[in-house]
Amino acid sequence: MELNSTVLKRSTILLIVLILPFNALHEAGHLIPCIMQGGQGTFLIGIIASQATCSLLNNSLVFFFMGGLLACLGALLPLTIKRIAKYPSIRIVLLSLAIGHLMTALLETFAKEFYMSDIANPIVSFATFSIYIGVLCFFGRKEKLRKDRWITSDEAFKLLKRNETR
C-alpha cells in the first residue's frame, strides 16, 4: 500500500487547522443542555485539553455526551455535500474528527472516572491519532490497477475505444 503524498500533506495541514475549531464546537456542545435548562456555563479551549462547566448539569449524562455529539455531527454534516466529500483530504479529516469526537463523547459519558484521570489524555490522544492514521490509510491510498479488481463500465469503454484505434 502506498499513500498519496499530496493527500497526506493536505490532510495533515487540514487536521492541524481544524483541531481548535472542533474542540470549541465540542465544548460549546456541552453548553447546549446547560443553557436549555437555565444554567450558566463556561468553557476553555486548549490544544492539549479543553473544558466546559455548567452551574446546573455538571453530573448530567446529557451534558457529557452533547459535546462530542455536536462535534461529530459538525464533522459529518459537510460530508453530505458531494462537492465537499469528493476531496479525499477533506473526507479523511472530517471522518477522523467525527469518529474521534464520538469516541470522546462515549468516554466522557460512560467512563468519566477514566476520562478525567491523568492517564487518559495520552491514551485518548494516541487513539485519536490512530483513528486519523487508519482513515488516512483507507482513503489516502494511491489507486493502482490490480488484476483482481473489477473495472467499471466507463473504464471498459475507454479500454475498448483505445484498442479500436490501434
The pTM score is: 0.80
**Could you tell me which residues come within 8 angstroms of residue 53 by beta carbon, excluding any fewer than 6 positions away?**
41, 42, 43
Reported as a single tens digit per residue, the pLDDT across 99-126 is 999 999 999 999 989 988 889 888 998 9
Contacts 24+ apart (CB under 8 A), 117-126: 121/48, 121/49
Reported as a single tens digit per residue, the pLDDT across 81-90 is 999 998 999 9
DSSP state of 118: T
Q: Give kind and range of the element (H or E) at residue 2.
A: none
Specify which residues 51 forms β-bridges with. 44
Give the pLDDT confidence score for residue 68 in this predicted structure. 94
Number of folded domains that form the chain: 1
Beta strands in the chain (DSSP E): 41-44, 51-54
Give the domain extent around 143.
5-164
